[in-house]
Chains A and B, each alone.
Chain A
Amino acid sequence: MHELAVTESLLEIAIRHAREKNASRITGLYLVIGKWSSIVDDSVQFYWDIISDGTIAKGATLHFQRVPVVLTCQDCGKEYEPVGEEFACPQCGGTHAKIKTGDEFNLEAIDVEE
């Protein structure tokens, strides 16, 4: 449960970018979260409602985009989604993979009013 620390960081980044554009209000945040980043949407939303209160981001909507895990096999180059306890490449059985997507944890954009 580190969503409080995460949500505080989120608020700080959003307010900083809004101020740079002289915005008076933040109405939406677009989050991109990989399936393997250990973040629970509901928990971020819970803390968001509390800590954004009294800031220019109060009431802003959090939009979560979840990104599936895709691995790239380092032996044959195939890209695949690991299933359950099977991480090996389904094409060549290779066991050396690099994560292509799925560990993102970014704030992509915000909606603001001037």
Chain B
Amino acid sequence: MPLRIPVVEKILSANDRLAVENQARFDTARVLALNIMASPGAGKTSLVEQTLKGFSGRLRIGMINGDIATSFDADRAQAAGATAIQINTGGDCHLDAAMVQSAISQLDLGALDLVIIENVGNLVCPADFKLGTHKSVLVASIPEGDDKPYKYPGMYRGVDVVVINKIDLLPYVPFRMDFFKKGIEVLNPGVVQFEISCRTGVGLSSWLAWLDRQVQEFKHN
């Protein structure tokens, strides 16, 4: 006779455990860690470039870039002044805590103020895999359309910040900002929001000021 054994375990518990270890390493070094997620083309790398530029000479930033292939993004981050580690997932649609763990080992956390992890471009899978970061940032963009919070609730629900990029395209693209924001707010009441354009620079100062405050508070508290 088969015997039924209760298990009641989260299927991604192994990843969750590694994520806790990663966070402990960031905590010990007092380095704030961000997980930046978005669909491909929303502007993750552009936001990273603008952020590196904005903090140039002021904050020491380490980058971990996840991509299925190529090191274009790490190259762009390096060119903008960060120490960058590229993770090629070789087909995996997301970064997981184990990949981040090996990348952290290649960074000198003691010499950094902020670590930015740029996840694989994807609005589905990255939400399920915790990395051990302190804040999750979702970059949305106007041309993607205003229905994305409704279509990808898992992603919009689990983040701390939504950065709405490419707002310079609002006059040219049908995008109901009210409808979009209603979708975010129901799923994620009180989520921090920024409306920016990485191309024109509008809104970036608010984002940088917020991030600077997070880094300083984390370092000194």
Contact = CB atoms under 8 A, between A and B. Distances in A.
The answer on A and B forming one complex is yes
B54 interface: no
Contacts of B3: 21, 23, 111-114
A5 interface: yes
Interface in B104-152: 124-125, 127-129, 147, 150
A87 B9 contact: no
B58 interface: no
Given A12-B14, A21-B5, A1 B154 contact: no
B5 A17 contact: yes
Nearest to B186: A87
Contacts of B157: 36, 99, 103
A61 to B, nearest CB: 11
B9 A38 contact: no
B127 A110 contact: no
Interface in B1-42: 2-15
Interface stretch (B44-52, B74-82, B91-99): B91-99
B40 to A, nearest CB: 15
Contacts, number: 113
Contact of A1 (B11, B15, B93, B96): B93
B182 interface: yes
A5 B154 contact: no
Interface in B163-188: 182-183, 185-187
A97 B5 contact: no
Which of A2, A95, A107, A114: most chain B CB closer than 10 A? Answer: A2
A10 interface: yes
A57 B35 CA distance: 35
A2 B94 contact: yes
A88 interface: yes
A87 B189 CA distance: 12
Contacts of A87: 150, 153, 182-183, 186-187
Contact of A27 (B2, B125, B147, B187): B2
A110 B94 contact: no
Contacts of A108: 6-8
Q: Which 10 A-B pairs have the closest CB atoms?
A: A87-B186, A96-B189, A2-B125, A111-B2, A85-B150, A38-B124, A95-B186, A107-B7, A109-B6, A17-B7
7 contacts: A1-B125, A6-B11, A9-B13, A12-B14, A21-B5, A95-B189, A105-B11
